[in-house]
Structure 1
């Protein structure tokens, strides 16, 4: 794969990792342009486990980012030390990160993911220690997603590294034991996200399209690279 940008994401990036935690990696790659002219489209995603690694083809990554996908979006907001591959085209994409955002996509996607985490919590048997530990992980993600969404909406900046990971961990454990505690958190987030914020109503698709066309021109033949 011609990887344009990749880095360490997940609990390590958030500051929630502990000894033994998985190290998750996310990246985007460019398929050779000529592969888009055959009967079958090139592979859009590559997922591997042990260790966990996910790469999305450039066009798919852009579509997911424009839709506000939290996991995909964080790739262009990582602290610099967490990047493992940075090419000139990858740096260009980082430079476009604000243009990928929109108020509606952030609201719908981040709160949608947080609500999914709450549903998972509500459906778990919390009497088993192992199950409770898993529930705590979902609860931490819920808290993180809600706080990131509100901050992103109000400031236009996505902060990956949590300011107080232990507070998020402790709150996650309380929510895991009593999922109803999350309802107030979500309600407050909905209220704040419904107010005017720093994000535009629509992303700058033209700028993203221009970047993607530069990617395609840079990979017209197998011998060329970004």
Structure 2
């Protein structure tokens, strides 16, 4: 992945979950730092770089931290990947992995993961009764797999304090996706069940994220790249 100051990057998405099939895209996510002096000018540098073919997204360090503190499921994956999926690891990137639990809190994880899952369900429901094209059915099945994964990952993180990236039973996710592709409402009982589980279960996570180590890490990044040039 290509900016001059990538701190941490790896393969995320279906490959990381164990849900990739022939023809699946390989998605990459990373964190980079701009030279600190660029933050003092009239115009702020871009905070996100997205490329296609290959598919990659890089967030600037401060933006990545803000997203992670909000419980964003996609960005949080980056600091919980198996070692084999990292493609760039620097000392500052390893430090970020080391403070990963500081980013998460019970209410924000619940809100983010259930919120994303609910968005996926709305996409499924809006597609109608399953009488659409083959391509649309494939997209619907994919969104259904995302819904199931978000519910499971979010609940596991909420109750154990750990984010599980790879799913236990990939075939169950594909079977679920096919059922939902035939009838979007087939996803609703599972979504309702997880909402009930969140309601009934005390979280292992703190009420608020611990911003102090995050702030300290970001300041180390700024010191490290002061005078680094473009």
TM range (shorter): over 0.9
Aligned to 1:116: 119
Cα distance, 1:223 vs structure 2? 5.5
Partners of 2:30 and 2:78 within 8 A in 1: yes
Aligned to 2:196: 191
Give 1:8-157 correspondences, 5 Å limit: 8-125=11-128, 126-127=130-131, 128-157=133-162
Unaligned runs of 5+ in 2: none
Cα distance, 1:152 vs structure 2? 0.8
CA offset digits 1:179-225 (Å, max 9, x no partner): 2122221122112222212111100011100000000000001259x
Cα distance, 1:95 vs structure 2? 0.6
Give the SS at the match of 1:110. helix
CA root-mean-square deviation: 1.2
Total equivalences in the alignment: 224
Separation of aligned partners in 1, 2:53 and 2:69: 29
Cα distance, 1:176 vs structure 2? 2.2
Of 185, 193, 208, the match for 1:202: 208
**Normalised by the size of structure 1, how large is the TM-score?**
0.96
Separation of aligned partners in 2, 1:36 and 1:19: 43
Unaligned runs of 5+ in 1: none
Aligned to 1:222: 228
Structure 1 stretches (4+) deviating beyond 2 angstroms?
none
CA offset digits 1:80-101 (Å, max 9, x no partner): 0000000000000001111110
